[in-house]
Amino acid sequence: MKLFSKLPATLAFLLFCGIAFAQNPAPPAAPTSNPMRAVHDVEVGKFYMKRGDVDGAIARFKDAMLYKPNYAEPCLQLGRAYEKKDDPATAIDYYQRYLKILPDTPESKKVRERVAKLEEKLQKDKSAAR
């Protein structure tokens, strides 16, 4: 009989804990490293770029960076996408991220040339705005 006398208190305690947990759910976990997912996101992003869906491509390239932070390819592709959207400042930012990851590759020389042209364009735009 003593067992049943403590049962309501135990049930009340468990109910209270359940309500407290439901009101304060755990935050969603950050994506963990997943290199295969990152490669897939880049490939899908390239497909979107070919279709002309630049915003969709940007979202996939950014997803790839979440799953593999030091992956140079999405940085390069984001630079190209923002260049296509006529956002040279953001394009330069992503091109520079690419160069930090891969400073000495054949593609790096081309990227440096793109950065120089985009910086020149930004200067011309600032001069024209005055």
Number of domains composing the chain: 1
Q: Classify residue 69: in a domain, yes or no.
A: yes
CA dihedral 28, 30, 36, 37 (to 10 degrees): 50
In the prediction, which pLDDT does 14 show?
Answer: 52
CB atoms within 10 A of CB 77: 22
Q: In which domain, by residue range, is 86 found?
A: 29-101
Of 119, 117, 112, residue with least CA distance to 95: 112
Rounded-to-integer distance, Cα 56 and Cα 84, Å: 13
In the prediction, which pLDDT does 15 show?
Answer: 53
* CATH number for the domain that contains residue 75: 1.25.40.10
Q: Classify residue 8: in a domain, yes or no.
A: no
CB atoms within 10 A of CB 86: 8
Binned average pLDDT, 10 residues per bin, the chain of 130 residues: 57 54 61 92 98 98 96 98 97 98 95 97 85
CB-CB contact of 19 with 51 (8 Å): no
Q: Classify residue 97: in a domain, yes or no.
A: yes
Q: Classify residue 118: in a domain, yes or no.
A: no
Question: pTM of the entire structure?
Answer: 0.76
Q: Classify residue 47: in a domain, yes or no.
A: yes
Q: Classify residue 82: in a domain, yes or no.
A: yes
In the prediction, which pLDDT does 92 show?
Answer: 97
CB-CB contact of 92 with 62 (8 Å): no
